[in-house]
Amino acid sequence: MGQASTSTQDGEEMDIITLQAMYRKFVTECPSGVLFLHEFKKFFQIDPTGEASDFAENIFRAFDKNGDETIDFLEFVAALNIAFRGSLEHRLRWSFKVYDKDGNGYVDRRELQEIVDSICRIQQSCRSNPDCQALSVEEISERILKVVDSDGDGQITLEEFLEGAQRDEWVKNMLKLDMNPYAWVLQQRRKSSNF
């Protein structure tokens, strides 16, 4: 009998042992069965005052499907399913929730700049996005608005978000917020003999 696995976006496979390790980590970090924001940051080893803190809060809100300010295991699994196997449209819809910080159904210039700023601060520390070093947050935000905000009202609806990402590859890469929890799991597995 072969070992069951799940394919990730980049072709890597996640085996059952890794999924079980993630479940053990979830149960260990939140024995109550739900993750609160501070536990979420601890779970993903995010410094509560570091560059990733604001970004983590937005991601937490997007994971929290029912809006109860906690993430239960089903919400956690659903979010990971999108990250691992979701179509581009599903990932963009999830990303829109991260960008739409106040949940009013559109992303305004301020929300866009806040997320772009968080992304750039994180990516500059990792040196993973040359655009974040070459362009200012305002320039990146303006470029996104120019492509995505089709009616020019300064607010990006979900439909504009989806359509704009399809029109421009650079914008799509900025908007889709590729989360790679699988890489994080592998890194944790290597760090700890318990994992």
Residue predicted with more confidence, 95 or 188: 95
Distance CA 170, CA 183 (A): 23
Please report which confidence band the pLDDT of residue 41 belongs to, taking 50, 70 and 90 as the band edges: confident
Query: What percentage of the chain reaches a pLDDT higher than 70?
Result: 68
pTM of the model: 0.68
Which pLDDT score, from 0 to 100, does residue 194 have? 47
- Which numeric CATH code is attached to 14-85+180-191? 1.10.238.10
Q: How far is CA 117 from the centre of its chain?
A: 14
Please report which confidence band the pLDDT of residue 185 belongs to, taking 50, 70 and 90 as the band edges: very low
Per DSSP, 156 falls in state E
CATH 1.10.238.10 boundaries in the chain = 14-85+180-191, 88-175
In 3D, which of 189, 29, 38, 56 has the Cα closest to residue 122? 56
Residues 6+ apart with CB under 8 A from 148: 156, 160, 161, 163, 164, 165, 171, 175
Least confident range of 91-100, 131-140, 156-165: 131-140
CA geometry: angle at 109 spanning 104 and 115, to 5°?
Answer: 85
Alpha helices in 100-136, H assignment, sequence order: 109-126, 130-134
Which pLDDT score, from 0 to 100, does residue 20 have? 78
- Which numeric CATH code is attached to 88-175? 1.10.238.10
